Structure 1
Amino acid sequence: MFKTVEESRVEISQLMLPSFTNFGGKIHGGYILGLMDQIAFSCASKHSQGYCVTASVDKVNFLNPIEVGELVTMKASINYVGTSSMVVGIRVISENIRTGKTKHCNSSYFTMVALDDSGKTIKVPGLKLKTKIDAKRFIKAIKRRESESEKNKTLSLVYKNVDNYLDELKNYRVQIDF
């Protein structure tokens, strides 16, 4: 079974209230992350028709602050599917509802895993790519996975023999006391 990206796409909008702010008066990043996790769950569950959990979140960059009174819209779609996992791409945009001015505030990728009632992974439907953008997003997800795998191999080598890497610290603000 295959589903199109469009069949699982989810979009939510929410007005940002003063109770969502951090000490600097902007909308708290943790609050936004919570909303992103909810929309990732919704999108992945819609695709898999099952319960999903967050396995990982790939690089969250807060590009622009979100102000009280702005309307935040999050758009989520399935970018990649594995056997039981899915990568949900999320784009966060804020809008000043008085001026209509919009800002791209964040984009991130949540890896979600589909589970059955006993907590075991289940097979998710494949993804039917209908546009070049769908294909681009799927390929980019593959490349991110490959890059992450290479990074993990390199980091594993550092942990196994840190002595081989200590010279790299010379140009950093550290003092080694061992």
Structure 2
Amino acid sequence: MILPIVAYGSPVLRAVAQEIGPDYSDLPKLIEDMWETMYASNGVGLAAPQINRSIRLFVIDSSQIFANQDEDEKGMYPDEPGMKGVFINPQVVGLNGEKWSYNEGCLSIPKIREDIYRNAEVRLKYQDETFTEHEHSFIGITARIILHEYDHLEGKLFIDHISLLKKKLIKKKLDDISKGKVKVDYKMAFQK
């Protein structure tokens, strides 16, 4: 089932999400719905707070970025061809590599994109959908998507990484989004 994406301005996007256990109600269905919602929204990652669930869960599929590359872009990123995964109760263990800029957007903040600097590598401890423990390093675009989605679990948004001047320049657009004055081709839920 395709779920509505929570829009900027909703308190759930600013809350620190709670850990879950294997007994979390109907988790396989929720993960399936998150995949369906992410793909229907043309996203490459989706965190549970974006569907109004304040739990430590996100899904990513960085292979979509590589599938849509132009021929001259192939081989530009070290993590090509990307990966697809479910991350439950993740913890950042370490950040490595130089910070690099990439133009990011967010399904909860449609029609706004900004250049964001993030580390080239992230080491993450997490559980998969069967609650099997993993500790793994991710690089490139995959690391960036993971860090973006991880921020959602910490109550942070990509716009928190931009300068005060840039925030002032996009304030009207952000206000419009929080009031539901934005048109997108996917389901959204707006704060009342």
Same fold (TM over 0.5): no
- Considering Cα pairs closer than 8 Å and 6+ residues apart, tell me whether 1 or 2 has the greater RCO: 2
Q: TM-score range by the shorter chain?
A: under 0.3
